[in-house]
């Protein structure tokens, strides 16, 4: 099986799993199966606010501050988003040993560099002004 097929198979499953998590978290939030930090009925009044005002009134976290709030329904959706964002990294990590086994060092180095860049970007270390 080619690298492209392996990558595509993992990408397919990763996106399906992420989508399932997104749908489940959304339904849990909408149907009140998970407690909300902000009640669903109050959300429309926050939609028109500038970001700084919304953050001040809602107490919503920024950056990775949502992780401790996973007991709240609206933040559980971010698990699916985070999974979706990690699918590419997981696919690359799956293909990397195949490239190394075939001694395709340049391709392996490019894949490894892409993984590092994606993880660095996701870490928030490069966020300016926060």
Q: pLDDT per residue over 81-122, tens digit each?
A: 999 999 999 999 999 999 999 999 999 999 999 999 999 988
CB 58 within 8 A of CB 38: yes
User: What's the chain look like in SS3?
Assistant: CCHHHHHHHHHHHHHHHHHHHHHHHHHHHHCCCCCCCCCHHHHHHHHCCCHHHHHHHHCCCCHHHHHHHCCCHHHHHHHHHHHHHHHHHHHHHHHHHHHHHCCCHHHHHHHHHHHHHHHHHHHCCCCCCC
Q: What is the mean pLDDT of residues 43-65?
A: 88
Residue 128 placed within a domain = no
**Across the chain, what does the average pLDDT equal?**
89
Predicted TM-score (pTM) of the model is 0.78
Q: What is the mean pLDDT of residues 50-55?
A: 90
Domains in the chain: how many in total? 1
The domain of 20 spans 3-123
Residue 69 placed within a domain = yes
User: pLDDT confidence of 19, banded at 50, 70, 90?
Assistant: very high
Residue 21 placed within a domain = yes
Residues 6+ apart with CB under 8 A from 103: none
Residue 89 placed within a domain = yes
Nearest-10 Cα torsion for 112, 114, 117, 120: -60
Residue 130 placed within a domain = no
Residue 129 placed within a domain = no
Residue 58 placed within a domain = yes
């Amino acid at each position: 099986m080619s690298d492209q097929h392996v990558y595509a198979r993992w990408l397919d499953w990763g996106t399906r799993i992420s989508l399932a998590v997104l749908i489940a978290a959304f339904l849990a939030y909408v149907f009140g199966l998970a407690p909300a930090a902000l009640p669903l009925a109050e959300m429309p009044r926050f939609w028109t606010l500038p970001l700084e005002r919304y953050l001040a009134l809602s107490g919503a976290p920024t950056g990775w501050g949502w992780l401790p709030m996973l007991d709240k329904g609206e933040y559980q959706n971010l698990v699916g988003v985070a999974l979706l964002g990690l699918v590419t990294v997981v696919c690359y990590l799956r293909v990397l040993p195949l490239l190394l086994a075939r001694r395709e060092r340049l391709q392996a180095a490019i894949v490894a560099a892409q993984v590092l860049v994606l993880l660095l970007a996701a870490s928030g270390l490069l966020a300016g002004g926060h």
